[in-house]
Amino acid sequence: MKPRTKRALAIAGGLAALGVAAALVLNAFQSNLVFFFTPTQVAKKEVPLDRNFRVGGLVEGGTVVRQQDALTVSFKVTDGAESVPVVYTGILPDLFKEGKGVVAEGRVGPDGTFKASQVLAKHDENYMPPEAAEALKQAGHPMAKENFAGQGGSKR
């Protein structure tokens, strides 16, 4: 074997071993790499109830209620199966809307309500002019829901 062939094989072998190692490590850390938990996981208590965590899903239609002070807002986050009631005081991102994606960080209070310290909007990867979106809506296209469920983590 030529030295260069040996070196090529050593590099290929090293990279393959590294790839396998990385895959194993990432697989082991799977649950820690999750950015948010789904409402189903919250309902099943598969979440760290004693500390802060994030819950993500869609803002359930018709559940957004603003309090008197105009800064406190309550809504429900749903993944289609379960939903979590959330209370938040502060300024919401521009893209916060009923039926759209949201990720809230906070903890579950004694009454089962999720007290959020931060609310982030999660938008999907569809880009289209308003007219096209309107047309899809009229055709009853369930775009937002499909896309939120399409992500790896929320399927489990």
Partner 1 sequence: MNWFYFSSPPTFFRLAGRLAPWFFILAAVLAAWGLYLGLLVAPTDAQQGAVYRVIFIHVPTAWMSMFLYFVMACYCGLTLVFNTRLSAMMARAIAPTGAMFTFIALWTGAFWGRPTWGTYWVWDARLTSELVLLFLYFGYMALANAFEDPRRGDRAAALLALIGVVNLPIIYFSVQWWNTLHQGSSVSFKGTSMHVTMLTGMLVMSFAAWMYAIGATLVRVRSVILERERRAQWVREAGAA
Binding site for partner 1 (CB under 8 A): 4, 7-8, 11, 14-15, 18-19, 22, 26, 30, 33-36, 38, 56, 92-96, 100, 103, 118-130, 132-134, 147, 150-154
CA distance 76 to 49: 18
**Cα–Cα distance, 156 to 67 (Å, whole number):** 35
**Please, what is the minimum distance in Å from the beta carbon of residue 101 to partner 1?**
8
CA dist., res. 101 & res. 122, Å (int) = 5
The least distance separating partner 1 from the CB of residue 137, rounded to whole angstroms, comes to 9
CB atoms within 10 A of CB 37: 23
| Residue 108 CB, nearest approach to partner 1 (Å) | 19
Smallest distance from partner 1 to CB 135, Å: 10
Cβ pair 74, 40 in contact under 8 A: no
**Quick one: 22 or 81, whose CB is closer to partner 1?**
22
The answer to whether residues 106 and 51 touch, using CB atoms and an 8 Å cutoff, is no
CB of 109 to partner 1, least distance (A): 22
Closest to partner 1 by CB, 23 vs 68, is: 23
* CB nearer to partner 1: pick between 111 and 125: 125
CA 46 to the chain's CA centroid: 15
Comparing CA positions, the residue from 108, 46, 51 lying closest to residue 77 is 108
C-beta of 85 vs 136, nearer to partner 1: 136
